């Protein structure tokens, strides 16, 4: 029993050391690969179009004066359904790029904006027509079909 008590911590340390060493090798490979491609990435990013989704950073505000409809996804980094909805939001935003402004707003970064739009349940998508009248919203996880249909309705 005493031998087991002595060997168990040593075995744990050995396993953790191996796991860390393996992870470091993979990270080093990724860093080396990304360094080698950094020139290409820099050249590509100059020609890229702006992102379809605007992630509202701290200190930024919504542009409601562009004359375009606005779609806001209120979310949080700790919210599982928000993470599940994010790819759908980005995909539909890319399909409708230029027709509306698509914002991703973290409720923890912008609590005042979340309160203004009554984002008490997330994910919450707010649809604001170009004229600013008849603002609607839908809380909860949406399928791509549901979300695309709501965006199409907004764009009419």
Catalytic residues: 79, 82
d(Cα 34, Cα 94) in Å, to the nearest integer? 26
Q: Which residues contact 117 (CB under 8 A, 6 or more apart)?
A: 72, 74, 124, 126, 137
Of 151, 75, 152, the C-alpha closest to 109 is 75
Decide: helix, strand or coil at residue 74: strand
Q: Are strands 101-106 and 70-75 parallel, antiparallel or unpaired?
A: parallel
- How many residues are given for the chain? 156
Residue 37, token pair as written in the block:
């491609």
Measure the CA–CA gap between 66 and 81, rounded to whole angstroms.
Answer: 30
Strand pairing partners for 128? 70
Pairing of strands 101-106, 53-55: parallel
């Amino acid at each position: 029993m005493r031998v087991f008590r002595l060997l168990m911590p040593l075995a744990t340390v050995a396993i953790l050391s191996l796991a860390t060493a393996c992870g470091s090798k993979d990270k080093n490979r990724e860093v080396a690969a990304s360094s080698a491609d950094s020139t290409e990435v820099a050249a590509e990013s100059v020609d890229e179009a702006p992102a379809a989704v605007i992630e509202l950073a701290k200190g930024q505000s919504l542009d409601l004066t562009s004359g375009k409809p606005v779609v806001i996804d209120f979310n949080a980094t700790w919210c599982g359904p928000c993470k599940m909805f994010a790819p759908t939001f980005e995909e539909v935003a890319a399909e409708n790029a230029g027709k509306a402004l698509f914002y991703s707003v973290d409720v923890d970064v912008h609590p005042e904006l979340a309160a203004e739009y009554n984002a008490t349940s997330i994910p919450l998508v707010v649809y604001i027509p170009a004229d600013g009248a008849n603002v609607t919203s839908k809380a909860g996880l949406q399928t791509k079909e549901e979300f695309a249909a709501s965006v199409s309705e907004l764009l009419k």
